Amino acid sequence: MPHMPPTPPKPVSEVWKPELVRLPSLTSARLAFRKFSHGLVKFVSWLCLRVTTDGMSDIPRKGPLLIVINHLGDADIAALISALPFTPDALGKIELYDLPILGKLMDAYGIIWLHRGRPDKRALRAALDGLAEGRILIIAPEGRYSLTGALEEGTHGAAFLAYKSGAPILPIVLTGTENENVYSHMKRLRRAPVHIRVGKIFRLANQASARREAMSAGTSQIMAALADLLPKKYRGE
């Protein structure tokens, strides 16, 4: 496991809206909206990003599966979803709900809203229920986009979900999605180069346990898997 440099404390959600936290039901209307959203995200990503991939054909089409990603900027999820051949579930910070238009679109898609900086039992329960149904779920264990551009320490949410559900983990990393890179290219009417690299599926050691020690070890294992896929400058060494 690479040594992660110290960073400011992880953010704590100031917004508290537990009534919004649930596992979205996959109604015919929601599935249709997800299909529409997928096409829209692919189009917008094509306009703004030049995405290349490595290993996308190895991603299973069925769950349960926990996809863990690094978090560099605003374009991470859009870039990843545009490259995926399916529409996954994902956890998103509750603050995004109040954004004009975007928040309502994300809610209609069926984001599992998460209150950061505290144990959000409703969000964890919703995510576990989704994995139990065989869904594919995306989570960014860093808990925010990196303040340095390099991999930060992970929070325990992904490890908790893996231990409790028994779901396998697939690490995927993105490079080039830093806000500075993406927005500077957009200002020049150019597409920002973004690369997505898919790792190998694994399970956490001692997955039958969910004790505090196991959480720390599991989080370290997850972050090491992400670091192994990243170029050196992104690893946080």
The reported pTM is: 0.93
pLDDT tens sequence across 125-180 = 999 999 999 999 999 999 999 999 999 999 999 999 999 999 999 999 999 999 99
Hunting for tokens 């953010």 — which residue is that? 11
pLDDT (0 to 100) of residue 114: 96
pLDDT (0 to 100) of residue 4: 56
Hunting for tokens 């991939």 — which residue is that? 53
pLDDT (0 to 100) of residue 138: 98
Q: Which residues pair with 170 in a beta bridge?
A: 67
pLDDT at 72 exceeding the cut of 80: yes
Q: How far apart are CA 82 and CA 62, in angstroms?
A: 18
Hunting for tokens 């917004």 — which residue is that? 15
pLDDT (0 to 100) of residue 213: 81
Mean pLDDT of the chain: 93
Name all domains of the chain by residue range, CATH numbers in brackets: 21-234 (3.40.1130.10)
Could you tell me where the DSSP H helices lie in the chain?
A: 28-48, 76-83, 102-109, 121-132, 157-165, 179-187, 212-229
Structure tokens at 185: 């290219």
pLDDT tens sequence across 24-37 = 999 999 999 999 99
pLDDT at 63 exceeding the cut of 90: yes
